Structure 1
Amino acid sequence: MTTTLAPSVEPWSPAEFEARLREVGRLRYHDQHPFNLRMHAGDLEPDEVRSWITNRFHYQRHIPVKDALIIAKLDSPRLRRMWLRRVEDHDGRSEGEGGIERWLRLGEAAGVDRRTLCSGESVVPGVRLAVEGYVNFCRLRSPLEAVAASLTELTAPDLMRLRIEAFERHYSWIQPEGLAYFRARVDQGRRDSAEALELVLEWARTRTDQESALAALSFKCDVLWTLLDAVQCAGQTGPGRNGRDGARERM
């Protein structure tokens, strides 16, 4: 008896594959999360903004960690140098520079001191789990999947411009110099996403690879969405740390 193998599924064309990647961002990126919509409409109370800054910092400080893990997977000096710039963008080349420093200044401009941000003591459990999941994804998955997950940067520049406008219009109590992080990420995000997209389009030659890249990008969108879910839920729970004190009061 002769066994007939099913024909392999043809890969999408580069143009169609790129369109599908961009569609994931359009449909699943966290710019449409209710918390972000409230932020950009000016509906957040100062404590909600500070909670977001504090919890989001836990994600920000792990960006160079996940990028270092990606660098370890890259097989050429050219690619490692290219990705190393992302680490430098966040860590800086010396003290007082980089995206992490700019986020600390955002916190200070909003009334959150550095000790609180750096201690991580106010980070809610859901944010910790989401960030740990993303770091482990970059540690354990293929270079294609790890790089594809970064393609949320395709949508990030537009979000940064919207955020700058919203903060200037609705949250004038935040000192203007605190918005430097968002301003820097407009151009950095555009550059980073272009480089990552080129790699993903080059590496994903089969339909299986392409679907893996789409799944990785969807996962990253879920990470960002879950982070905001956790921040929003903590704000609804009450004043207790991480919601736990409030929960005990209701028992």
Structure 2
Amino acid sequence: MNAQPLPRDALEARLRLIGDERYHDKHPFHHRLHSGDCTMDEVRAWVINRWHYQASIPMKDAAFMSRCSDPQLRRIWRSRIEDHDGRLDEGGGIRRWLKLAEGVGLDPDYVASGRGVMPATRFAVDAYVRFVREAPLSAAMASSLTEMFAPAIHTRRIEGLLAHYGFATAETLAYFSQRLNEAPKDVGFALNWVLAHAASPADQEAAIAALSFKTDVLWAQLDALWHGYVAGNVPPGAWRPGEGVLQ
């Protein structure tokens, strides 16, 4: 561990290097998806399993807010919950994800039920929520900084899906296009907060480890999808092709 804390720019460089080396845009499942090589069953498996992650994000953010004694921090952070949950009469990210589910031929109610999610997906996502609930605040916030790397993958995803899949339209891909607007706002605040509050060498190393952990959470989900639906080793209880498909 460093004897002295890293300067602000050096800490930011360390955090950004994690994205260069470890972000899940490099996973072969994403290359397969964005190039049009996924079967529709593989796409549906991805939508179903990614749902568990999307649906857990507002719970993760609520867990984070429950630990914040600073009301200003809570005021700023709660917009993330609204972005995903939406308001009573407005769609948020979760509803937009269910539009994608419908677009790929899945019953949105089936997807929203969480049935068919792979065990590895549950373990990875639930571990992330638990981490944010229990870790020091600066580390918990640092785990959200994968958003620094998300706009590039969303852009490639929109382009790739539109080019290769008939289900892809502006409506079905609205989740990703909206995140292009939301993520830069969120990450701008979170990055500045972490850089300001991770002041000691221990705090800085914890923030770096937290972001690495989050990339592991994302990577593990894609490993599970590949093993289950590309390699053909679907685990017990996970979605089977044909289940939850719109008639």
TM-score band, normalised by shorter chain: over 0.9
Deviations 1:193-242 (A, max 9, x none): 11100110010111111100000000000000001111111102257765
1:195 aligns with 2:189: yes
Deviations 1:54-78 (A, max 9, x none): 1000110000000001111222111
Q: Which moved more, 1:94-103 or 1:188-197?
A: 94-103
TM-score for the superposition, normalised by structure 1? 0.91
4+ residue runs over 4 A deviation: 238-245
Indicate conservation of the 8 Å contact 2:147/2:183, yes or no.
yes
Q: Distance in 2 between matches of 1:117 and 1:166?
A: 23
1:77 aligns with 2:82: no
Among residues 204, 221, 225, which one is paired with 1:210 in the alignment? Answer: 204
Q: Return 5+ residue gaps in structure 1 as ranges.
A: 1-7, 246-251
Write the mapping of 1:132-211 to structure 2, written as runs, cut at 5 A.
132-211=126-205
Indicate conservation of the 8 Å contact 2:143/2:214, yes or no.
yes
Residue 161 of structure 1 deviates from its aligned partner by: 0.6
Indicate conservation of the 8 Å contact 1:90/1:100, yes or no.
yes
**Which residue identity is paired with 2:104?**
A
Counterpart of 1:56 in structure 2 is 50
Counterpart of 1:5 in structure 2 is none
Higher helix proportion (structure 1 or 2): 1
**Which residue identity is paired with 1:37?**
H
Deviations 1:59-107 (A, max 9, x none): 1000000000111122211110100000000001114510000000010
Q: Judging changes above 3 Å, is the alpha-carbon distance between structure 1 residues 74 and 96 closer, same or farther for their aligned structure 2 residues?
A: same
TM-score for the superposition, normalised by structure 2? 0.92
Q: Distance in 2 between matches of 1:203 and 1:225?
A: 28
Among residues 233, 237, 247, which one is paired with 2:232 in the alignment? Answer: 237
Cα-Cα RMSD = 1.8
1:34 aligns with 2:11: no
Counterpart of 2:243 in structure 1 is none
Instruction: Identify the structure with bigger relative contact order (alpha carbons < 8 Å, sequence gap 6+).
Output: 2
Who wins on radius of gyration, i.e. which is larger?
1
Deviations 1:9-38 (A, max 9, x none): 011110010000000111111000110111
**Number of residues paired by the alignment?**
239
Q: Judging changes above 3 Å, is the alpha-carbon distance between structure 1 residues 60 and 86 closer, same or farther for their aligned structure 2 residues?
A: same
